[in-house]
């Protein structure tokens, strides 16, 4: 335990508070419908909030701050399975001991935010644990960033400085890199940058084609050659989500990535992996480790599951002083949580072919395939994904059918989201706190919902 102000009495009270909070949170342990008496009050709260921020919300789900494991409680009194957890923030599950302890420990510190001129012990610890976790690669340094988008902005700056004046970037169709002034130009969905000027020079190649595994690599390489030949020697890097998050959990094989990255190396450009969504969620801590790509990576961006953003880079990419800095270097609770998350994940039995994450993946995909072949034949069209990133298609695999289904799923007790634009998929970013009995109940709700909607 890392405390700021600490003595035996404080320690005792922290232990006591920790247990009391956990015991109380653990009472949120099953799906439950809204309380009729609370429904209109909850709607009004969210409407007022929406009015103040200028836009309503996708779901009626203002949280009460209570939840445990996969369960989340909303102001209308309902409790639901949270299978998207804020688009991938709470991999460990609601009110996980790691999160509660981190906040209690942080309360003993003399301030809330770490700053560039105000480093703290927990920042040092997190930097050490995350760099130790990649000691099988050439990645050597870690720098904090306020979000996934900001981590990506910083990555771009390192690459530009090193490769100046080669400012072009190669990315992939259906990429999502964030919504900052720079990253909105890498993100391909035009709806996310309506009315925005183009600031970056980004060229796009097709990612792995799940419908044409044999031709996928050649298809990508042909496009890369074309991009290169049109503007030779003008690119600083190739940027890739190994598992495309917003793109619908599209991912390739080790051989595919090796082929693409060998191409990049042959052209002398850097390899930048965006793991903002995939960090922690596949069969190793990093997706690039899951696919055995350690020798290739030059720069990797992370956020979400870590509770704070940041980027890992090689010695070669260490920027000159002055290029990257900022007032905030993460909040103390988030940074304490970041180290604990890394420790919890790497020391527990989560990774590898026999780890819990692989088991969750196999159970979900297996059960979805059973539904596809059985009672939901013709209504569920595709089931796939990797680790805790699971996606499937319903109805016509378009936006209308997918959202009709997701909204009904929400009413029936599961919070999910969509991914991809053609096909559109139902997306789960599963918490690792799921137990087998939860999964059984989730599938009963899924099957019922499919029949209600289609
Ligand atoms: C792959 C990827 N990169 C970058 C981002 C942007 O991260 P943030 O929303 O924290 O700015 C996201 C967010 O969903 C993402 O999935």
pLDDT digits (tens, 9 = 90+) for 185-217: 999 999 999 999 999 999 999 999 999 999 999
d(CA 391, CA 429): 9
Residue 328 pLDDT > 90, yes or no?
no
Cβ atoms of 113 and 144 closer than 8 Å: no
Query: How far does the centroid of ligand 1 lie from the alpha carbon of residue 151, in Å?
Result: 9
Q: How many domains does the chain have?
A: 2
Place of tokens 């809204």: 34
Q: Write down which residue in 306, 329, 347 finishes a domain.
A: 347
Asked if residue 12 belongs to a domain, the reply is no
Q: What is the dihedral of CA 15, 17, 22, 25, to 10 degrees?
A: -170
- In terms of pTM, does the model score above 0.85? yes
Same domain, 152 and 172: yes
Write the CB contacts of 264 (distance below 8 Å, at least 6 apart in sequence): 170, 237, 238, 270, 271, 296
Residue whose CA lies nearest to ligand 1 atom number 8: 148
Place of tokens 């060998």: 262
CB of 305 closer than 6 angstroms to any ligand 1 atom: no
Hey, is 442 helix, strand or coil?
A: helix
Asked if residue 105 belongs to a domain, the reply is no
pLDDT per position as a tens digit, 270-321: 999 999 999 999 999 999 999 999 999 999 999 999 999 999 999 999 999 9
Same domain, 54 and 175: no
Instruction: Give the least confident one: 153-157, 188-192, 370-374, 448-452.
Output: 188-192
Could you list the residue range(s) of the whole structural domain that residue 241 is in?
112-347
Asked if residue 36 belongs to a domain, the reply is yes
pLDDT per position as a tens digit, 236-278: 999 999 999 999 999 999 999 999 999 999 999 999 999 999 9
Nearest ligand 1 atom to alpha carbon 87:
14
Same domain, 69 and 84: yes
Asked if residue 9 belongs to a domain, the reply is no
CB of 417 closer than 6 angstroms to any ligand 1 atom: no
Same domain, 263 and 314: yes
Q: Write down which residue in 347, 380, 404 finishes a domain.
A: 347
CB of 249 closer than 6 angstroms to any ligand 1 atom: no
392 forms beta bridges with 383, 426
Same domain, 356 and 420: yes
Band of residue 96 on the pLDDT scale cut at 50, 70, 90: very high
pLDDT per position as a tens digit, 105-140: 999 999 999 988 888 999 999 999 999 999 999 999
Write the CB contacts of 422 (distance below 8 Å, at least 6 apart in sequence): 398
Asked if residue 17 belongs to a domain, the reply is no
Asked if residue 338 belongs to a domain, the reply is yes
Instruction: Name the percent of the chain lying above pLDDT 70.
Output: 100
User: For 175-191, what is the mean pLDDT?
Assistant: 94
Same domain, 234 and 317: yes
Same domain, 81 and 117: no
d(CA 347, CA 283): 14
Residue 71 to residues 64, 65, 229, 288, 410, Cα–Cα distance (Å):
12, 11, 52, 30, 13
Query: How far does the centroid of ligand 1 lie from the alpha carbon of residue 14, in Å?
Result: 34
How far is C-alpha 64 from the geometric centre of its chain's CA atoms? 23
Asked if residue 13 belongs to a domain, the reply is no
Lay out the sheet containing 299-302: strands in order across.
Answer: 139-145, 309-314, 299-302, 270-274, 235-240, 168-172, 202-205
Residue 285 to residues 16, 130, 223, 278, Cα–Cα distance (Å):
32, 10, 31, 9
Query: How far does the centroid of ligand 1 lie from the alpha carbon of residue 448, in Å?
Result: 32
Same domain, 72 and 116: no
pLDDT per position as a tens digit, 432-441: 999 999 999 9
CB of 303 closer than 6 angstroms to any ligand 1 atom: yes
Residue 116, pLDDT score: 83
DSSP 302-352: E-GGGSSEEEEEEGGGPPPTTSS--SEEEEHHHHHHHHHHHHHHHHTT-SS
H/E element, 114: strand 113-115
Residue 61 pLDDT > 80, yes or no?
yes
CB of 276 closer than 6 angstroms to any ligand 1 atom: yes
CATH for 222: 3.40.640.10
Asked if residue 151 belongs to a domain, the reply is yes
User: For 102-106, what is the mean pLDDT?
Assistant: 97
User: For 130-157, what is the mean pLDDT?
Assistant: 97
CATH for 449: 3.90.1150.10
Same domain, 299 and 398: no
Same domain, 339 and 375: no
Residue 75, pLDDT score: 96
Band of residue 98 on the pLDDT scale cut at 50, 70, 90: very high
Q: Write down which residue in 347, 372, 396 finishes a domain.
A: 347
Same domain, 76 and 149: no
Same domain, 206 and 338: yes
CB of 112 closer than 6 angstroms to any ligand 1 atom: no
Residue 338 to residues 93, 122, 222, 300, 344, Cα–Cα distance (Å):
14, 9, 40, 16, 10
Hey, is 386 helix, strand or coil?
A: strand
CA-nearest of 301, 311, 308 to 330 is 308
């Amino acid at each position: 335990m890392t405390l700021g102000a600490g003595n035996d009495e404080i320690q005792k009270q922290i232990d006591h508070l920790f247990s009391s909070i956990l015991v109380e949170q653990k009472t949120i342990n099953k799906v439950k419908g809204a309380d009729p008496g609370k429904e209109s009050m909850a709607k009004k709260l969210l409407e007022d909030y929406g009015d103040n921020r200028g836009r309503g919300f996708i779901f009626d789900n203002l949280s009460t701050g209570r939840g445990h494991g996969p369960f989340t409680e909303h102001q209308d009194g309902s409790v639901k399975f949270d299978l998207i957890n804020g688009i991938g923030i709470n991999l460990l599950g609601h009110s996980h001991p790691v999160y509660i302890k981190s906040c209690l420990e942080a309360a003993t510190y003399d301030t809330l935010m770490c700053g560039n001129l105000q480093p703290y012990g927990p920042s040092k610890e997190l930097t050490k644990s995350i760099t130790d976790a990649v000691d099988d690669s050439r990645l050597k340094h870690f720098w904090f960033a306020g979000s996934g988008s900001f981590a990506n902005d910083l990555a771009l700056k390192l690459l530009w400085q090193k490769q100046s004046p080669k400012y072009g970037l190669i990315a992939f169709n259906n990429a999502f890199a964030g919504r900052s002034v720079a990253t909105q130009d890498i993100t391909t969905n035009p709806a996310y940058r309506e009315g925005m000027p183009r600031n970056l020079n980004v060229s796009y190649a097709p990612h792995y084609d799940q419908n044409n595994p044999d031709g996928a690599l050649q298809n990508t390489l042909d496009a890369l050659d074309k991009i290169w030949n049109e503007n030779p020697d003008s690119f600083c890097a190739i940027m890739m989500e190994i598992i495309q998050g917003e793109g619908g959990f599209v991912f390739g094989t080790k051989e595919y990535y090796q082929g693409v990255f060998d191409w990049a190396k042959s052209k002398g450009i850097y390899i930048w992996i965006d793991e903002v969504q995939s960090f922690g969620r596949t069969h190793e801590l990093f997706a690039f480790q899951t696919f055995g790509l350690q020798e290739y990576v030059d720069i990797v961006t992370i956020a979400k599951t870590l509770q704070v953003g940041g980027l890992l880079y090689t010695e070669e990419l260490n920027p000159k002083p002055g290029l990257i800095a900022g007032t905030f270097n993460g909040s103390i609770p988030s940074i304490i949580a970041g180290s604990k998350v890394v420790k919890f994940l790497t020391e527990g039995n989560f990774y590898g072919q026999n780890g819990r994450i692989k088991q969750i993946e196999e159970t979900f995909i297996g059960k979805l395939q059973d539904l596809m072949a059985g009672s939901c034949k013709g209504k569920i069209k595709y089931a796939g994904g990797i680790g805790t990133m699971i996606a499937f298609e319903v109805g016509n695999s378009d936006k209308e059918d997918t959202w009709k289904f997701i909204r009904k799923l929400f009413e029936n007790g599961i919070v999910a989201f969509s991914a991809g634009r053609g096909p559109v998929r139902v997306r789960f970013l599963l918490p690792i706190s799921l137990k087998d009995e939860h999964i059984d109940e989730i599938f009963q709700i899924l099957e019922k919902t499919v029949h209600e909607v289609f």
